[in-house]
C-alpha cells in the first residue's frame, strides 16, 4: 500500500506542475464569464440560469478533463518508457496502476473543484444561497468523472488513443441517453426494445444516476435513499472497472 501511495503522490505532483492545471484555471475563468453573460440574458431569473448553465457546463468540462487525463495515463508512460523505471523496482503492477489512478483521481477532484467553484461564484454573485445539494452535486460529478476516467483507462489498455476517446464518448452519451429513454412511450410499448435497453443498463454504466442537476437547480428535495444507492452504485461499478483494469494491466505486454 505504501508503494501505491508513493506512485499516487508522484503522479499527483507531476500533474500538478504540468499545464493541465493552468488549462483548468483558464477553463474556470471562461466558464465564469460565459455563465455571467448567459445570466444577463435571462430576463428575470439570472440565479436559475447561472446555476443551470454553470453546473451543466462544469459537469461536461469535468468529464472532458477526465477523458483527456485518462487517455494518456498509461500510453504516455509506455511511450516515454517511464513505466519501465517504476516496474523494474520491487513494486507490483497492480500497486503501480492503482497508484497512478489514485493520483490522477486526486487531480481530477482538484480540477472539478476549481471548475465548479468558478461556476458557483456567479450564482452567489446573483444572490444564490448555499444548499446541501451543492456538495452532493459536486460529489456525484466526481463519481461520474472518475467512472469516465476508469472507462477511458480501460479502453486505452486495449485500443489506441483515438478509439479510446471515441468509445468513452459513446459510453458517456449512452450512459445518459439509455436510462432516460426507458420512460419514452415508444420504448415502453415495445417489450423487446425495453428489454434490450434495460439489459444495456445492467452491463454498461448508468451515468444518469449521478445527474443531480434537476434537484440542484430547481431545489427539489433529494431522497436520501437515492443518494445512498447512487453512491453505492458508483463505488461498486468503479471498483469493478478498476479490477478489470488491474487484471488486463497485469497480463499486458508493455511494448
Q: Is 81 in the site for other proteins (CB under 8 A)?
A: yes
Residue 220 exposed, middle or buried by CB count within 10 Å (0-12, 13-18, 19+): exposed
| Cβ proximity to other proteins, 78 vs 136, nearer residue | 78
Q: Which of 26, 84, 220, 239 binds other proteins (CB under 8 A)?
A: 84
CB burial string 174-213: b at 16+ within 10 A, e below: bbbebbebbeeeebeeeeeebeebeebbeeebbbbbbbbb
Least gap, CB of 107 to other proteins (angstroms): 12
- Tell me the window of 89-97, 118-126, 174-182, 184-192 that interacts with other proteins (CB under 8 A): 89-97
Q: Which of 23, 45, 82, 190 binds other proteins (CB under 8 A)?
A: 82
Least gap, CB of 176 to other proteins (angstroms): 34
Q: Is 160 in the site for other proteins (CB under 8 A)?
A: no
| Cβ proximity to other proteins, 83 vs 242, nearer residue | 83
Q: Determine the Cα–Cα distance for residues 146 and 153; give it in Å rounded to an integer.
A: 10
Q: Which of 64, 87, 187, 193 binds other proteins (CB under 8 A)?
A: 87
| Cβ proximity to other proteins, 23 vs 82, nearer residue | 82
| Cβ proximity to other proteins, 90 vs 191, nearer residue | 90
Q: Is 255 in the site for other proteins (CB under 8 A)?
A: yes
Q: Determine the Cα–Cα distance for residues 73 and 100; give it in Å rounded to an integer.
A: 8
| Cβ proximity to other proteins, 14 vs 45, nearer residue | 14
Count of residues of this chain found to bind other proteins when the rule CB under 8 A is applied: 22
Of the candidates 254, 243, 252, 251, the one whose C-alpha atom is nearest the C-alpha of residue 101 is 243
Q: Which of 44, 88, 127, 185 binds other proteins (CB under 8 A)?
A: 88
Question: Kind and range of the H or E element at 93?
Answer: helix 93-125
Of the candidates 167, 169, 134, 166, the one whose C-alpha atom is nearest the C-alpha of residue 60 is 169
Q: Determine the Cα–Cα distance for residues 8 and 95; give it in Å rounded to an integer.
A: 10
Least gap, CB of 45 to other proteins (angstroms): 44
Structural contact between residues 210 and 234, judged by C-beta atoms closer than 8 angstroms? yes
Q: Determine the Cα–Cα distance for residues 201 and 83; give it in Å rounded to an integer.
A: 35
CA 120 to chain centre: 19
Q: Which of 65, 69, 86, 242 binds other proteins (CB under 8 A)?
A: 86
C-alpha count within 13 angstroms, C-beta hemisphere, residue 198 = 10
Site string for other proteins, 18-57 (x = CB under 8 A): x---------------------------------------
Residues that bind other proteins (CB under 8 A): 3, 6, 10, 13-15, 17-18, 80-82, 84-91, 253-255
Amino acid at each position: 500500500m505504501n508503494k501505491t501511495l508513493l506512485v499516487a503522490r508522484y503522479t499527483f505532483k507531476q500533474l500538478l506542475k504540468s499545464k493541465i492545471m493552468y488549462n483548468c484555471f483558464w477553463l474556470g475563468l471562461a466558464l465564469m464569464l460565459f455563465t455571467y453573460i448567459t445570466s444577463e440574458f435571462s430576463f428575470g431569473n439570472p440565479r436559475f440560469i447561472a446555476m443551470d448553465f454553470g453546473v451543466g457546463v462544469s459537469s461536461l468540462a469535468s468529464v472532458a478533463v477526465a477523458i483527456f487525463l485518462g487517455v494518456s495515463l498509461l500510453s504516455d508512460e509506455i511511450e516515454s518508457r517511464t513505466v519501465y523505471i517504476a516496474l523494474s523496482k520491487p513494486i507490483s503492477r497492480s500497486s503501480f496502476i492503482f497508484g497512478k489512478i489514485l493520483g490522477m483521481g486526486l487531480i481530477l477532484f482538484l480540477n472539478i473543484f476549481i471548475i465548479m467553484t468558478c461556476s458557483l461564484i456567479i450564482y452567489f454573485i446573483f444572490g444564490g444561497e448555499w444548499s446541501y445539494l451543492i456538495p452532493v452535486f459536486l460529489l456525484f460529478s466526481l463519481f461520474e468523472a472518475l467512472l469516465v476516467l476508469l472507462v477511458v483507462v480501460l479502453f486505452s489498455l486495449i485500443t489506441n488513443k483515438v478509439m479510446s476517446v471515441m468509445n468513452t464518448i459513446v459510453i458517456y452519451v449512452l450512459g445518459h441517453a439509455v436510462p432516460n429513454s426507458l420512460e419514452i412511450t415508444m420504448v415502453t410499448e415495445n417489450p423487446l426494445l425495453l428489454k434490450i435497453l434495460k439489459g444495456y443498463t445492467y452491463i454498461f454504466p448508468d451515468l444518469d444516476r449521478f445527474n443531480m442537476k434537476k434537484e440542484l437547480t430547481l431545489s427539489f428535495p433529494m431522497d436520501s435513499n437515492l443518494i445512498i444507492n447512487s453512491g453505492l452504485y458508483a463505488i461498486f461499478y468503479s471498483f469493478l472497472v478498476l479490477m478489470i483494469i488491474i487484471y488486463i494491466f497485469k497480463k499486458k505486454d508493455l511494448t
